[in-house]
């Protein structure tokens, strides 16, 4: 028996990197199920697994080590089953662009709420800053300041010009980092730009639209030449939450969590209760209305909003 880490999962085959650094194609033997969690993928990228060689080249996964954490999303339109994006990650980097393509606050907030739920530090990477006009940069910075104020680290970068990439390298070094964000925000391009040893496939937006699919089609973990790993993932459209109690949602907004004890009612859900410290903070601007709006959408399960068409920044 050997131990390894799942680097890639393509349906029924998994690339497992063994401790001596070789990659073995593995299948799963029988049923591997985690208690409680109904997922479309029993084994995810980042999972530490036990495997046995079956023949010279291929192996069989016989068990998974307990996960330190995992980040999960619910398929928005399909089966609504949970999909584990990755397991055992140190941090989640969300790439955000306000154009080409447009990323909405509701999407960012859903992602952050999920990361909070699994206690995974999240960083917002504003990529493609080379394509913004001065006025658009102002809008971008206003948007970023909302998250900065809450306590999230925000970086402005350009995978194209190289701006900000040294900071990204420092952030990634010796950690396992998940790269997430809509299709076309530049996840694979950024990975290639920080580590010239990586040769991930990228494509212009128009191309990937024409192809009707994402350029990156499977999550894959890549070792970085300067230490650590990045997990490049296919772009996601919507981000459905999994298994949340309604009363837990506000706790996933750090700025609401900090004020909740000031609400008159201990079971306040910050919707229409009187003397609600959260609503008061929204009214006087200490909590951003976009964040509160995202909270309400989550609270009322209004998922369609993730993909609406109008541009709230214009």
Long-range Cβ contact pairs of 63-71 (< 8 A, separation 24 or more): 63/32, 64/32, 64/34, 65/3, 67/34, 69/118, 69/119, 69/120, 70/44, 70/46, 70/118, 71/114, 71/115, 71/118, 71/120, 71/178
Residue from the set 88, 177, 180, 202 that interacts with ligand GTP by CB under 6 A = 202
Q: Which is nearer to ligand GTP, 155 or 263 (CB)?
A: 155
Residue from the set 8, 74, 83, 128 that interacts with ligand GTP by CB under 6 A = 128
Rounded CA-CA distance 95/185 in Å is: 6
Q: Which helix (H) or strand (E) holds 114?
A: helix 105-117
Q: Which is nearer to ligand GTP, 9 or 292 (CB)?
A: 9
How many residues touch ligand GTP under the rule CB under 6 A: the total is 24
Question: Minimal distance in Å, beta carbon 79 to Mg ion?
Answer: 24
Residues from 155 through 174 that contact ligand GTP (CB under 6 A): 158-160
Rounded CA-CA distance 6/14 in Å is: 6
Residues making contact with Mg ion (CB under 5 A): 187-188, 215-216
DSSP tag of 35: T
Residues 257-296, one symbol each (x = binds ligand GTP by CB under 6 A, - = not), give ----------------------------------------
270 binds, among Mg ion, Zn ion, ligand GTP, none (CB under 5 to 8 A by kind): Zn ion
Residues making contact with Zn ion (CB under 5 A): 263, 268, 270, 276, 278
Q: Which is nearer to Zn ion, 19 or 261 (CB)?
A: 261
Question: Minimal distance in Å, beta carbon 108 to ligand GTP?
Answer: 15
Nearest 5°: the CA angle 198, 202, 208 is 160
Tell me the backbone φ, ψ of residue 55, rounded to 5 degrees.
Answer: -145, -160
Residue 247 in contact with residue 269, Cβ under 8 Å? yes
Q: Which is nearer to Zn ion, 252 or 270 (CB)?
A: 270
Tell me: does residue 186 bind ligand GTP (CB under 6 A).
yes
Tell me: does residue 131 bind ligand GTP (CB under 6 A).
yes
Rounded CA-CA distance 197/95 in Å is: 21
């Amino acid at each position: 028996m050997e131990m390894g880490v799942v680097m890639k999962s393509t349906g029924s085959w998994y690339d497992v990197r063994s401790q001596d650094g070789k990659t073995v194609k593995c299948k799963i033997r029988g049923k591997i199920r985690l208690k409680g969690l109904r997922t479309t993928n029993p084994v995810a990228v980042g999972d530490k697994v036990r495997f046995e060689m079956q023949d010279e080249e291929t192996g069989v996964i016989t068990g998974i080590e307990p996960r330190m954490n995992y980040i999960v999303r619910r398929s928005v339109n399909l089966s609504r089953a949970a999909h584990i994006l990755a397991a055992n990650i140190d941090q989640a980097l969300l790439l955000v662009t306000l154009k080409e393509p447009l990323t909405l606050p509701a999407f960012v907030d859903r992602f952050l709420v999920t990361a909070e739920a699994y206690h995974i530090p999240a960083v917002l990477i504003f990529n493609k800053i080379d394509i913004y006009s001065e006025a658009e940069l102002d809008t971008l910075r206003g948007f970023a300041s909302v998250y900065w104020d809450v306590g999230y680290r925000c970086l402005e970068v350009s995978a194209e010009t190289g701006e900000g990439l040294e900071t990204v390298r420092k952030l990634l070094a010796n950690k396992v980092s998940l790269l997430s964000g809509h299709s076309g925000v530049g996840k694979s391009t950024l990975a290639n730009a920080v580590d010239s040893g990586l040769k991930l496939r990228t494509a212009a937006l128009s191309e990937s639209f024409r192809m009707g699919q994402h350029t990156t089609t499977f999550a894959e973990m890549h070792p970085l030449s300067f230490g650590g790993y990045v997990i490049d993932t296919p772009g996601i459209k919507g981000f459905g939450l999994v298994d949340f109690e309604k009363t837990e949602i506000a706790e996933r907004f750090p700025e609401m969590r900090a004020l909740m004890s000031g609400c008159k009612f201990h079971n306040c859900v910050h919707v229409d209760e009187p003397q609600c410290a959260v609503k008061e903070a929204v009214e006087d601007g200490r909590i951003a209305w976009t964040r509160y709006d995202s909270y309400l959408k989550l609270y009322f399960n209004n998922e369609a909003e993730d993909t609406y068409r109008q541009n709230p920044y214009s």
